[in-house]
Amino acid sequence: MVNLANYKDLVIGDRVIKPGSSEEFKTGDWRSMLPVIDLDKCIDCLTCWIYCPDDCILVKDDKVVGIKKTHCKGCGICAKACPKKAITMVEGEE
């Protein structure tokens, strides 16, 4: 959830005056579908990582380890792009 500041504390004129605001803006709130990765099927080709518009595929040591739920909007591009069909979109998943 975004920090709900008092109207007085908001920068006037709807301006963002410091960097990193997209990190604070948790777009995961919008999600109705969550990608679930079957790591047994995954060959770590990182195609999903390339395609994800929100940089939500978590990678450690060149290996896919999971999804960044705070920012994943559930668009399903990763599931479409996966050559091994290792990703399924699950409805209502937390």
Partner 1 sequence: MTPAKHSDIAINGDCAVALAWRQIDPDVCAAYPITPQTIIVEKFAEYIANGEVKTEFVCVESEHSALTLCVTACSAGARTFTATASQGMAYMWEVLPIAASMRVPIIMAVANRAVSGPININNDHGDVMSARDTGWMSLFAENVQQAYDLSIIAPRIAEHHEVQLPCLMNLDGFILTHAIERMTPLDTHAVKKFVGEFKPLYPLLDVEHPVSHNLMDGPLFYFPHKYQTVKAMDKALEVTKQVFKEFQQISGREYNLVEEYMCDDASCIAIVLGSSFGTMKEAVDQLRREGMHVGVAMPRLYRPWPISDLAKVMKGKKSVIVMDRHLSIGSYGPMFPEVVAAALENEGEMPKMYNYIYGLGGADTMVSDFVSVYKDVKEGKAKRINYLGVRE
Q: How far is the CB of 71 from partner 1 (least distance, A)?
A: 16
DSSP 8-state code for residue 55: -
69 alpha carbon, distance to own chain's centre? 6
Nearer to partner 1 among residue 25 and residue 43 (C-beta): 25
Give the residue with the Cβ less far from partner 1, 24 or 38: 24
60 binds partner 1 (CB under 8 A): no
Picking from 45, 93, 63, 62, the residue whose alpha carbon sits closest to that of residue 78 is 45
Count CB atoms within 10 A of the CB of residue 77: 16
Contacts (CB under 8 A) with partner 1, residues 6-45: 6-7, 10-17, 19, 21
Minimal distance, residue 68 CB to partner 1, in Å: 21
Residue 4, interface with partner 1 (CB under 8 A)?
A: yes
Q: Tell me the sheet residues that pair with 69.
A: none
